[in-house]
Structure 1
Amino acid sequence: MDQTITLPYWLFILLALFTLLLILDRVLFPSVRWYLKRRVNRIIKEVNTRLDIEIRPFQLTKKQVLVDQLLFDEKVIEAIKDYAQEQDLPLEIAQAKAQSYANEITPTFNAYVYFRFGYWLAKKVSRLIYRVRVGVYDDDQIKKIEKGSTVVLVMNHRSNMDYVLVSFLIGDKVALSYAVGEWARIWPLQTLIKSMGAFFVRRSSRNTLYRRVLERYVNLATRAGVCQAVFLEGGLTIDGKMREPRLGFMDYMLREYHPSIDRDIVFIPIGINYDRVLEDKSLIRHLDKNAQKRSSWYVLKTALKFFYKTLTKKRKARWSRFGYAGVNFGKPLSAKHYCEQHQIDFSELESTERFEQIKQLADELMQGIEEVVPILPVVLMSEIFLAQDMQWKSELQLKASAMQRIKQLKLLGAPIDLSESAFEQVLSSALTMLVGRRFVEEKDNLYKLVKGAETNLKYYANSISHWQ
């Protein structure tokens, strides 16, 4: 009974580690989980009191529950069977494929990350780079949107900053869910993006099983009232003009929509524009089919160099370099009212006819976006320089031409918010930006377009080319 038991050091260390893990698993981890869950619930309760659209239960549902819901969806089960037959695969392999797609698409929304970190980060980054201007051109209509409606923000896509900018401006009103491209599927960015409610989309995928899983997720989220942000163009513009709308997402939302019994889907057009698009030169390079593709190392090096230079500059210097970022909200369009007005029920239409009707709706929304794309100083001056045909002009002559164009735009009903008191200073700043970027040259107080910079200025001028 009094004998001493001797244990080898390795066994003692193993038992100590095992005991520590048990304590962590049974005592510490549950306490931490309880504490974090309590904080998240407190945040949800707090933000729901000030949000225009409350966080939907669908967004708070555990990811695994949503994945299971997708996998046991009748249409997904049918798609799994068809895929297995087409590819000559065992059913279990096809099911595993569908599960991997569901895991990839489904977000893991975290209210704490979204409102305490994501919103703060979006606000800091937006204000770090740009002077942000917002316009609401039909505030009364927006306020009249029914509380239970599914709100879908439809936007033009000029820059990857669009995500950040709109998240900042909408962050105190609603928890947005974005469709994000494959560019963001890098660690740890993808974890952060998913925790903020975004879901990844393989835009170029033609895999029928993947498209079916994606369709069912978008459909479920829409029916659950989740507020979503959609770029109808399906990608960034490379020439400055708005692209033709891609109809896939709208079809996913509307193909089973019953206007008489389902909650309303309200589309809000949003126009975005910049005095300087961060990746403008990279986008313009896509116009040249012979341009050599940049390496990943070059892209990373350029991005790091850009952030270093931006962070080390004073705020006024940054603003003079990047200028304004403008966001305008247009007139909401109710899917329920649209269906009643045009006597359409999308759920009853065959595929070809449904796409024709969705195309008409998408075109109407694109027109709504065009009507509220902000007209900013650099965009305006780009138009003026392109019209001068490489002639030297004084600053006074350029500003006189700009004033004439502003009057014309106002008569056409364009969304231009440029006061007469700030007119001189704002256009001078735009001129300085263009000279600084070597798009315009200055000599003896005279200015003209630099040869070879036409494509760059056309990129900006094209954003308002519809106002002619």
Structure 2
Amino acid sequence: MLQTVELPLWLVILGGLALASLTLNRVLVPSVRWVLRARVNRVLKRANESLRLSIQPLTLTKRQVLVDRLTYDPQVMQAVREEAAEFGEPREVVAERAARYAREIVPGFSAATYFLFGVRASRWIAQGLYRVRLGAEALGDIDPDATVVFVMNHRSNMDYLLVTYLASERTSLSYAAGEWARVWPLQQIAKAMGAFFIRRRSDNPLYRRVLARYVQMATADGVTQAVFPEGGLSRDGSLRPPKLGLLSYILQDFDPEGPRDVIFVPVGLNYDRVLEDRILTEAEVDADGRPRFRASVWTGLGFALRHVWLRLRGKWNRFGYASVSFGAPLSLRDFGTDQPEALGDALMERVGAVVPVLPVPLVADVMLRAAGALSRAEITARAGVLRDALVEKGAHFHLPRGDFDYAVEVGLRGLVRRHILRCEGDDFAVAPEGRDLLAYYCRSIAHLPR
């Protein structure tokens, strides 16, 4: 019993590895998993206690469960049979394609990623680049059992971060993200924060059925969503007509007599400077009507490095003001489901009504209408007349520091610094190379009644 037993070294190493693996799987991993789960549960508890709109169970369901539920949905399976019959493909092949679409669309929400990383990163980036202001907030008392859909104008890719940050005390948001975000590691981060990806230009019936059923499942289960009805960034600065894709999916499955209403909350965003403004205004349209942007990874990297260098030299300034306003909610149960075009128009009208007026768009409007150079006093006087006309009609005006003269100064400084305006003594004139950008910012408030 006490005799020495000789074993080959490889067998000792193999046994040690097996013992270490067993200890890891049976003791350490469950302990770490328990600690992480406890922390996530604490985050969820604090979030649901503080949020106006609590996180719904569907959002917390394991992603694979949602993928399977979507893949084997009766309507999706019917679409699989129809496509298999139409193209003569084996049903298993088409079903696998539907499953691939489901895996592509369904997010994998992580409360820890959203609240411990996403919201904090959004706040840090937004406040680092802009002076962020929350404009009007007319949310009122929304039924906690209703499904809330935030409907927003799309000015910049910063919209995602800005609204995530400003809405973080009210709810978590599930965004409809375009194909541009399907790159590593952005795709993984976006899905962990609840975003679902859509192929905006796909007309494949099977893909559209899978996407429609996911949107309808999320809506029926009360998941708070955020959509951009314009379908993409505004390339000329103006509000674009609504595209009814996602809205039509919601309408198709909505039961006015059901237990859950759908509440649309209009959200208006505006910036003193849109990061992508030159890329958007210089975009060319191909033969199919699709925009082609002159941008690359190197363009973005060069932009970032240039501003880092300015910051290191103490010459960097934030990009002015960014503001978000929330408008009066619209109940789908009250509005009805028989007029999707009218619903789209009504929502875009409400979104447009709460787009904030900021210093740069205000000064841009004045300068674009001027016949020639204007003095600082003339610009201030004309901007004052325009402000009064806009406010009288109900526009949401952001006044920095409560000082109108300072607001005009902020607008002039931002436009001169970017060579959109030229300053000659006390007179300001539009630079020939800056007219397109000036018009871009002017159009952001051109729809407002005055």
TM over 0.5: yes
Partner letter of residue 457 of structure 1? L
In structure 1, stretches of 5+ residues that fail to align are: 340-345, 347-353
What is the DSSP-based 3-state SS (H/G/I as helix, E as strand, rest coil) of the residue aligned with 2:33? helix
How many angstroms does 1:22 deviate by?
2.3
Larger displacement relative to structure 2 (152-161 or 63-72): 63-72
How many angstroms does 1:134 deviate by?
1.2
- Indicate yes or no: 2:383 matched with 1:402: yes
Distance across 2 between alignment mates of 1:160 and 1:68: 31
Distance across 2 between alignment mates of 1:403 and 1:247: 38
How many angstroms does 1:303 deviate by?
4.8
CA gap of 1:89–1:17, structure 2 versus 1, over 3 A, is farther
What is the DSSP-based 3-state SS (H/G/I as helix, E as strand, rest coil) of the residue aligned with 2:302? helix
CA gap of 1:326–1:258, structure 2 versus 1, over 3 A, is same
Corresponding residue number in structure 1 for 2:94: 94
Corresponding residue number in structure 1 for 2:397: 416
CA gap of 1:225–1:297, structure 2 versus 1, over 3 A, is closer
Which of these residues, 146, 150, 153, is aligned with residue 153 of structure 1?
A: 150
Corresponding residue number in structure 2 for 1:232: 229
Deviations 1:73-117 (A, max 9, x none): 110010111122233222111111111111111111111111111
Corresponding residue number in structure 2 for 1:436: 417
What is the DSSP-based 3-state SS (H/G/I as helix, E as strand, rest coil) of the residue aligned with 1:327? strand
Partner letter of residue 251 of structure 2? L
How many angstroms does 1:223 deviate by?
0.5
Q: CA RMSD in A?
A: 2.1
1:298-377 to 2 correspondence within 5 Å?
Answer: 298-305=298-305, 308-309=308-309, 312=312, 317-319=316-318, 322-339=319-336, 346=337, 354=338, 357-377=339-359
Corresponding residue number in structure 2 for 1:223: 220
Corresponding residue number in structure 1 for 2:31: 31
TM-score (norm 2): 0.94
Distance across 2 between alignment mates of 1:297 and 1:364: 38
Distance across 2 between alignment mates of 1:292 and 1:254: 33
Q: Is the 8 A contact 1:159 1:236 kept in 2?
A: yes
Corresponding residue number in structure 1 for 2:6: 5
In structure 2, stretches of 5+ residues that fail to align are: none
Distance across 1 between alignment mates of 2:310 and 2:203: 40
Which of these residues, 193, 196, 205, is aligned with residue 202 of structure 2?
A: 205
How many angstroms does 1:381 deviate by?
0.6
Q: Is the 8 A contact 1:108 1:195 kept in 2?
A: yes
1:18-417 to 2 correspondence within 5 Å?
Answer: 18-138=18-138, 142-287=139-284, 294=294, 296-305=296-305, 308-309=308-309, 312=312, 317-319=316-318, 322-339=319-336, 346=337, 354=338, 357-389=339-371, 391-417=372-398
Distance across 2 between alignment mates of 1:309 and 1:235: 31
Deviations 1:375-429 (A, max 9, x none): 111001111111113x222111111111111122122222223379511112112
Partner letter of residue 332 of structure 2? A
How many angstroms does 1:313 deviate by?
7.1
What is the DSSP-based 3-state SS (H/G/I as helix, E as strand, rest coil) of the residue aligned with 1:168? helix
Deviations 1:12-71 (A, max 9, x none): 434433332222222211111111111111111111111101110111111111111111
TM-score (norm 1): 0.90
Corresponding residue number in structure 2 for 1:349: none
Distance across 2 between alignment mates of 1:74 and 1:466: 44
Partner letter of residue 48 of structure 1? N
Deviations 1:314-367 (A, max 9, x none): 6x9423xx110011111110011112xxxxxx4xxxxxxx5xx11101100100
CA gap of 1:67–1:293, structure 2 versus 1, over 3 A, is closer
Partner letter of residue 318 of structure 1? N
Partner letter of residue 421 of structure 2? V
Distance across 2 between alignment mates of 1:81 and 1:195: 32
Distance across 2 between alignment mates of 1:308 and 1:89: 54
Deviations 1:239-283 (A, max 9, x none): 001111010101111102111124110001111000000110011
Number of matched pairs: 445
Distance across 1 between alignment mates of 2:396 and 2:8: 81
Identity of aligned residues (%): 42
